[in-house]
Structure 1
Amino acid sequence: MLFKWSVLLFLAFISISTVPVMAQSHYTTTEFFVQNGPLQLQVRKITENIYSSRKKIPILLVHGGTGAITSFDLETPDDASFGKALSDAGFAVYLMNIRGWERSTAPAYPLNDTALVAGSCQEAAADIDAVVSYILKDNPGKKINLFGWATGGHWASYYTTLHNEKVSHLIILNSLYGVKSPWIFNQAFADPVDSLKFNNSIPVMRQSDEQAMINIWGTGTNADTTIKADSAVIKSFAKTAVSFNTEHLLKVPGGFRKESFYMANGKKYWDAKDIAVPTLLIRGENDFWSRPIDLETYFNELPAGIVKKKITMPNAGHFLFLDIYGNGRRKLIIAINNFVRKDL
């Protein structure tokens, strides 16, 4: 009998592989993997431990085109970690990587199938549900607060339309909605012959080197102005983004670009009217990914009966959560905190 229980305990341990990453005087950070079928999804949990008796509200952060650690737990001398800043506000912060990002595994996508949407919103929603179910498994009846940035906002919104019963509050930052309107990437992603079709010669897997990741910060005519181009934040961002394989390349499923192209040209993969939870929509005034019409249309199509709020943050850009110099991140955290705790 002792042997049987030992085996069961061992199997339980390897099914959710938990590895402590860091235990500082101020924060406890734990990294583990959640199983979704054959896939392993990387999750990192961050809590502050100075006010350990304070009730911590769970929030799950869903990344966009760059992974969760690169986006939300960046290490710099000035501590640009958005996750740690949220934990200081009293949240139990979970960061997750969708399949194929950073240390999350991915299916063996056929690279020659250029019609494929690798890492579709349906796949992303399944991954989010696996992580949400894991977080809530010891809290029956509880719900998760869900934050999605850029494409992560698309994924989180679609997930919520399927699982309103598991979401407490939905917060979306700098995300597209299915509205036909000019978009900065239309020409780059469109088919050379038919501008209304995605260019299927674009690789199934996106690959970017460190310099390309630095160049992202200069995208558009209204690029982030509060974060200097030679700053430690940008350098750390680029270096971290390409650090998850021996080739030193950001290698991720490219389907999000295809879905984003079609959304920007009016296709809806989900409808805001199907969201039934309190929803906060935020857009940086200078964001290059989303457009003002996305914020307005998304907000207007949310049901009238739910708590809903929209905010445009002046002078803020795409990487608002990393803006530790222009107070963008501080304003973002205040907005999230007020909405989740007080519906304000």
Structure 2
Amino acid sequence: MFKLPVLAVLLAFLFSCNTASAQSNYTVTDFFVPNGTLQLQVRKVVETTYSSRRKLPLLLIHGGIGATTAFDLDVEDASFAKALALGGFTVYVMNIRGWERSTAPAYDLADTSLVAGSCQEAAADIDAVVNYVLQGNPSGKINLFGWAAGGHWAAYYTSQHNNRVANLVVLNSLYGVKAPWYFSDAFADTTDPTKFSSSIAPYRQSTEQAVAETWKANTPPADSASVAADSAMVTAFAKSAVSFNEEHLLKTPGGFRKESFYMANGRKYWDAKDITVPTLIIRGDKDQWSRSVDADTFFNELIAAPNKKKVTIANGGHFVFLDINGNGRRKLLIAINNFVKKGL
């Protein structure tokens, strides 16, 4: 006789949870953090409906696409930052120098040896933002999430500043392993495949159409409920990526391409053994930027991390954090929440 009332209560609870999620409110604050003469663009996203929750600070670091485009896309339910904020994080989204509205130094673009936006420069920018977020708390720590080149930068930073990082999470990132790489031919010198092509400009410039094609080339085919089939998402993503200058081009320092090329050929800019914080390595099995050997080797060489975990997302592509129609983003969010909050 108790089955119906219990079921009714359960359904009411589930409905209220779903309604609360759908009606969640967020405070979004944009500001700049100085790093010497540079100004670094930062966005803070906080979910305010459940204000009594303990909110852990989480800094998101982009890859080859700027941070607000990648992590806070203005499409319904697409914001990865808001999804993380709903899970109980105070989310900070930053742009490394030269991305979106972050300023850049006056690089000598005629210098073919230039690494514009190197991992050392990126780490200095991350440090400036971390210090800003943790100001007034000298013993405070932040959680870091880095995607693709951002994972490379976040890991490099962590290897130098373990005392400032609570947990490190990397997604679809390279490690210094010599192995076949999808982009090797595109980046290699035609006369010497072991060297980065000197004909590639220190700055990358891409049109809106090229950005859209990059999405399509790095997203699994829509043979299931895949975000690749959502043309509105692709269009918004490409338009956002090129919206930060009058030329309507995605203009970014290209040093990450040079470093990635040499990482894929076995060079280590940082060593996993120097990371002493809990580390979560995530890779979509359809990602073309990273390779399974990167995740495996990174994991195996994390000999000093007190907790480490490796997760593979089935049918996950390069932009898995925007996979809102499939299960990719859901699996990513669960992995981050379980590891950072529960150590699982």
Taking structure 1 as the reference length, what is the TM-score of the superposition?
0.91
The answer as to 2:338 corresponding to 1:341 is no
Alignment of 1:87-166 (within 5 A): 87-166=85-164
What is the CA-CA distance between 1:327 and the residue it aligns to? 1.8
CA contact (8 A) 2:219 2:317 kept: no
Aligned to 1:39: 38
Aligned to 1:67: 66
Alignment of 1:257-336 (within 5 A): 257-303=257-303, 306-336=306-336
Letter paired with 1:132 = V
Q: Tell me, in whole angstroms, the C-alpha distance in 2 between the residues paired with 1:32 and 1:259.
A: 29
Alignment of 1:50-61 (within 5 A): 50-61=49-60
Cα separation, partners in 2 of 1:224 and 1:321, compared to 1, 3 Å: farther
CA contact (8 A) 1:223 1:287 kept: no
Q: Tell me, in whole angstroms, the C-alpha distance in 1 between the residues paired with 2:85 and 2:24.
A: 14
Aligned to 1:200: 198
Cα separation, partners in 2 of 1:222 and 1:197, compared to 1, 3 Å: farther
CA contact (8 A) 1:224 1:317 kept: no
Deviation >6 Å, runs of 4+:
none
What is the CA-CA distance between 1:140 and the residue it aligns to? 2.9
Q: Tell me, in whole angstroms, the C-alpha distance in 1 between the residues paired with 2:100 and 2:231.
A: 23
What is the CA-CA distance between 1:89 and the residue it aligns to? 0.2
Q: Tell me, in whole angstroms, the C-alpha distance in 2 between the residues paired with 1:145 and 1:304.
A: 18
Letter paired with 1:231 = S
What is the CA-CA distance between 1:230 and the residue it aligns to? 4.8
Cα separation, partners in 2 of 1:221 and 1:251, compared to 1, 3 Å: closer
Q: Tell me, in whole angstroms, the C-alpha distance in 2 between the residues paired with 1:324 and 1:198.
A: 36
What is the CA-CA distance between 1:231 and the residue it aligns to? 2.1
CA contact (8 A) 1:41 1:97 kept: yes
What is the CA-CA distance between 1:200 and the residue it aligns to? 1.1
What is the CA-CA distance between 1:232 and the residue it aligns to? 1.6
What is the CA-CA distance between 1:224 and the residue it aligns to? 7.1
What is the CA-CA distance between 1:267 and the residue it aligns to? 0.4
What is the CA-CA distance between 1:220 and the residue it aligns to? 5.9
Aligned to 2:231: 231
Cα separation, partners in 2 of 1:331 and 1:316, compared to 1, 3 Å: same
Cα separation, partners in 2 of 1:107 and 1:305, compared to 1, 3 Å: closer
Q: Tell me, in whole angstroms, the C-alpha distance in 1 between the residues paired with 2:316 and 2:58.
A: 23
CA contact (8 A) 1:47 1:91 kept: yes
Cα separation, partners in 2 of 1:195 and 1:42, compared to 1, 3 Å: same
CA contact (8 A) 2:98 2:104 kept: yes
Aligned residues: percent identity? Answer: 68
Q: In structure 1, list runs of 5 or more residues that go unmatched.
A: 1-23
Task: Between 223-232 and 201-210, report the one with greater CA deviation.
Answer: 223-232
Q: Tell me, in whole angstroms, the C-alpha distance in 2 between the residues paired with 1:224 and 1:253.
A: 32
Q: Tell me, in whole angstroms, the C-alpha distance in 2 between the residues paired with 1:207 and 1:223.
A: 26
What is the CA-CA distance between 1:310 and the residue it aligns to? 0.1
Post-superposition CA distance 1:117-152 (Å, at most 9, x none) = 000000000000000000000333110000000000
Letter paired with 1:165 = N
Post-superposition CA distance 1:174-209 (Å, at most 9, x none) = 000000000011000000100000001101100000
Q: Tell me, in whole angstroms, the C-alpha distance in 2 between the residues paired with 1:287 and 1:25.
A: 32
CA contact (8 A) 2:273 2:301 kept: yes
Taking structure 2 as the reference length, what is the TM-score of the superposition?
0.91
Aligned to 1:183: 181
Post-superposition CA distance 1:44-86 (Å, at most 9, x none) = 000011011111110000000000001000011x320000000
What is the CA-CA distance between 1:115 and the residue it aligns to? 1.2
CA contact (8 A) 1:59 1:91 kept: yes
Q: Tell me, in whole angstroms, the C-alpha distance in 2 between the residues paired with 1:146 and 1:211.
A: 31
CA contact (8 A) 2:316 2:328 kept: yes
What is the CA-CA distance between 1:341 and the residue it aligns to? 0.7
What is the CA-CA distance between 1:217 and the residue it aligns to? 2.0
CA contact (8 A) 2:285 2:316 kept: yes
Aligned to 2:79: 81
Letter paired with 2:308 = K
Q: Tell me, in whole angstroms, the C-alpha distance in 2 between the residues paired with 1:337 and 1:221.
A: 24
Q: Tell me, in whole angstroms, the C-alpha distance in 2 between the residues paired with 1:308 and 1:328.
A: 21
Q: In structure 2, list runs of 5 or more residues that go unmatched.
A: 1-22
Cα separation, partners in 2 of 1:105 and 1:55, compared to 1, 3 Å: same
Letter paired with 1:68 = A
State how many pairs are aligned: 320
Root-mean-square deviation (CA, aligned residues, Å) is 1.4
Letter paired with 1:152 = G
